[in-house]
Amino acid sequence: MRIAFLLLLAASLTRYLDHHWHSARTPWVIGLSVALAAAHLLLPARSPGRLAAAGRRPAELAGLLAVLGSWAVLVLMAPSFAWCAVPLIYTVLRALPTRAAVPVIGAMTALVVTAELRLSDGFDPTLPLLPPTVAVLATAVFRYMERQGARQRALIDDLISTRRELAATGRREGTLAERERLAMEIHDTLAQGLSSQQMLLQAADRVWERDPATARGHVRTATAITARNLAEARRFVHDLAPAELADGGTLEAALRALAERETAESGRPVHVRIDGAPVPVPAAAQAALLRIAQGALANVREHADARTAALSLSYLGDQAVLDIADDGRGLAGPPGGAGADGDTPPGGPPAAGRGHGLPAMRARLRQLGGTLTVESTPGEGTVVSASIPLEDR
């Protein structure tokens, strides 16, 4: 609009000089044209109605009045300067709120009509209609653009707000997921190791006086568990894989090492069976199955009163299935409690602060698209079965 105004102003001045070079008004017209161009360039480029929003600062309103006054004088002296009206209409609309701009535009239009009638040799019926029509169209287009701009700004604000809300939601969900992961890791590593140490130290305390050799054996076993727990804690802090799977260890080897360790610590034989041809299992799935085996054997050790336990890893083409079975007391509940969803230890309710094993297992498997089922009958043992799909993983 600035460029259009300056071009029209230059064209009007050129036309005037071409026709009235020797007129006594020429120096005044040239001076007013230069002053009008300078005043227009000094007007601030503001959004619609910003002068009113800013409290109509006197200097800015004075600049607008100077532009309009200079143009009005030029139109009265040389009617051809009426061509500059359309850019000025947009200048007024940008500088003033609509209620204040409409009367000003009406006065400008009346001045243009008067100037055009002065230039014409006879009465032309289009002259009283054309300038008002142009003014109305310019005002309507500007108002439409203003509303569209306001809608776009509101939409952008909504999008920015929505993006911030989504980012905040993502951070909250990530925090909750990380808390759940930390809870599962702590339960399946440190908590189980501390529980084993407590049981061994309590057993050592009971036989310390009458059987020092057995008591020292319990203490040595507790020390070994402490060393493993320390290694797990360090790997846990650095977000590494379980110690048994570090340095390229396989899931089969890790399960066998777990069974040997459990057999040595509890005196209860734990057998391992591998069915099917081993296939590559993602590291996350290996870690999940190993943690589930550790948690299930911890439940057997603490609650089942079993004579033996078994770990069975089966490769069924599109999935890996790990079964942990024992011949203990079974889970408390209805007979034939297949698919039990609770986490009640065999023989009764969980102790205070316990009871997170099965939910943690299910949460691990859910993250990998797997499922957990529990089959148990009181007095006949329990089978915990974890399956993880292997396709596209």
* 248's tokens: 């390229």
Q: Which two tokens stand for residue 151?
A: 């809608």
99-113, 129-143, 238-252, 270-284: least confident range: 238-252
Q: Does position 341 have pLDDT exceeding 50, yes or no?
A: no
Q: What is the torsional sign of CA 202, 206, 209, 213? A: negative
Calculate mean pLDDT across residues 20-44: 86
Q: So what's the pLDDT on residue 374?
A: 92
Beta strands in 262-302 (DSSP E): 270-275
| Percent of the chain at pLDDT exceeding 90 | 13
Torsion, Cα of 124, 125, 128, 130 (10° steps): -90
**Residue 322 has what pLDDT?**
94
First to last CA, the chain: 61
Percent of the chain with pLDDT over 70: 83
Q: What is the mean pLDDT of residues 253-273?
A: 88
Provide CB contacts within 8 A for 28, sequence distance 6+: 77
Collapsing DSSP to helix, strand or coil, 371 comes out as strand
167: left (phi > 0), else alpha (psi -120 to 50), else beta? alpha
Q: Comparing C-alpha atoms, which of 102, 76, 70 is closest to residue 89? A: 102
DSSP secondary structure string for all residues of 115-183: HHHHH-SS--TTTTTHHHHHHHHHHHHHHHHHHHHHHHHHHHHHHHHHHHHHHHHHHHHHHHHHHHHHH
In the prediction, which pLDDT does 388 show? 92
Residue 70 pLDDT exceeds 60:
yes
Strands 319-326 and 371-376: unpaired
Q: Which domains are present in the chain? A: 2-128 (no CATH), 251-393 (3.30.565.10)
**H/E element, 109:** helix 98-119
The model's confidence at residue 326, banded by pLDDT at 50, 70 and 90, is very high
**Given CA atoms 271, 274, 280, 282 in this order, what sign does their dihedral have?**
negative
> Is the pLDDT assigned to residue 93 strictly greater than 70?
yes
Number of residues assigned to the chain: 393
CA distance 367 to 370: 8
- Give the pLDDT score at 235: 66
270 band by pLDDT with thresholds 50, 70 and 90? very high
Given pLDDT bands bounded at 50, 70 and 90, which one contains residue 45?
low
Which of 235, 384, 234, 237 is closest to 298 using CA atoms?
A: 384
Dist. CA 231–CA 240, nearest whole Å: 11
pLDDT value of position 18: 85
Helices (H), 187-273: 192-207, 212-237, 251-266
What mean pLDDT, rounded, does the chain reach?
Answer: 80
pTM, to two decimals? 0.45
Give pLDDT, residue 248: 66
Query: Measuring CA to CA, how many Å separate 264 from each of 4, 166, 223, 286, 287?
Result: 93, 51, 14, 23, 23
Token readout for 191 is: 């908590």
In tens, the pLDDT along 284-316 reads: 888 889 889 988 888 888 888 888 999 999 998
The rounded distance, in Å, linking the Cα atoms of 120 and 111 is 15
Predicted pLDDT at 385: 94
Sign, Cα dihedral of 8, 10, 14, 17:
positive
DSSP bridge partners of 29: none
